[in-house]
A and B are shown apart, each in its own frame.
Chain A
Amino acid sequence: MDDHFRALGADQERVGLPASGPARQAASRLPGAAISLEHSYRRLLFLYPARYRRIHEEEMLAVLMTTPSAGKRRPGLAEAADLAWGALRVRLQPQRDGGEPVWRDALAALSVILPLVMLAVFAGQLTGQWQASSKSVLDIGFPLWMIRQIAAPILLVVLVLLRRRRAAIVVSVALFLWLAQLNEGLTLLWATGDAYLLVPLALEVIALAASAGPQRGRQLLTWKHGALAVVAALAASLPGSAVPLAVIAVAGGAVMVLCSSLARWLIVLLAAAAWPFFIVVADPSGDPLVPFLPSEFGVVSETYLVPAVLLAWFAVSALRESRRLARPAPASR
Chain B
Amino acid sequence: MTELTLREPTFLILTALAAGPQHGYGIMTDVAEISDGRVRLRAGTLYAALNRLVVEHLVEFDREEIVDARLRRYYRLTPPGAQRLAAEVERMRSTTAVAAQRLRLLGGTT
Q: A: which residues have CB within 8 A of B? A: 1, 4, 7-8, 11-12, 15, 17, 21-23, 25-26, 29, 52, 56, 58-67, 78-79, 82-87, 89-90, 93-94, 96, 327, 329-333
Interface size on B, residues (CB 8 A): 31
Q: Is the CB of A78 within 8 A of B42?
A: yes
Find residues 76-93 in chain B having any chain A CB closer than 8 Å to their own CB.
76-80
**Can you name 14 extra interface pairs (CB under 8 A) apart from A84-B44, A90-B47?**
A8-B61, A25-B69, A62-B71, A62-B72, A63-B23, A63-B25, A66-B25, A86-B45, A89-B48, A89-B52, A90-B48, A90-B51, A93-B48, A93-B55
Q: Is the CB of B64 within 8 A of A65?
A: no
In the assembled complex, the CB of A33 is this many whole angstroms from the nearest CB of chain B, namely 17
Give bound CA distance, A201 to B78, whole Å.
46
Q: Is the CB of A83 within 8 A of B78?
A: no
CB-CB under 8 A from A79, the residues of chain B are 42-44
CB-CB under 8 A from A67, the residues of chain B are 25, 28, 43
Give bound CA distance, A333 to B18, whole Å.
12
SS class of chain A's interface: helix, strand, loop or mixed?
A: helix
In the assembled complex, the CB of A127 is this many whole angstroms from the nearest CB of chain B, namely 47
Q: Is the CB of B44 within 8 A of A59?
A: no
Find residues 37-69 in chain B having any chain A CB closer than 8 Å to their own CB.
42-48, 51-52, 54-55, 57, 60-61, 64, 66, 68-69
Q: Is the CB of A15 within 8 A of B66?
A: yes
Find residues 8-37 in chain B having any chain A CB closer than 8 Å to their own CB.
23-25, 28
Residue of A nearest to B77 (CB): A333
Give bound CA distance, A333 to B79, whole Å.
7
Ordered nearest first, which 4 A-B pairs have the shortest CB separation?
Answer: A86-B44, A62-B70, A26-B69, A82-B44
Q: Is the CB of A85 within 8 A of B44?
A: yes
Residue of B nearest to A79 (CB): B42
Give bound CA distance, A327 to B54, whole Å.
14
Most B CB contacts (10 A, CB to CB) among A7, A11, A21, A86 go to: A86
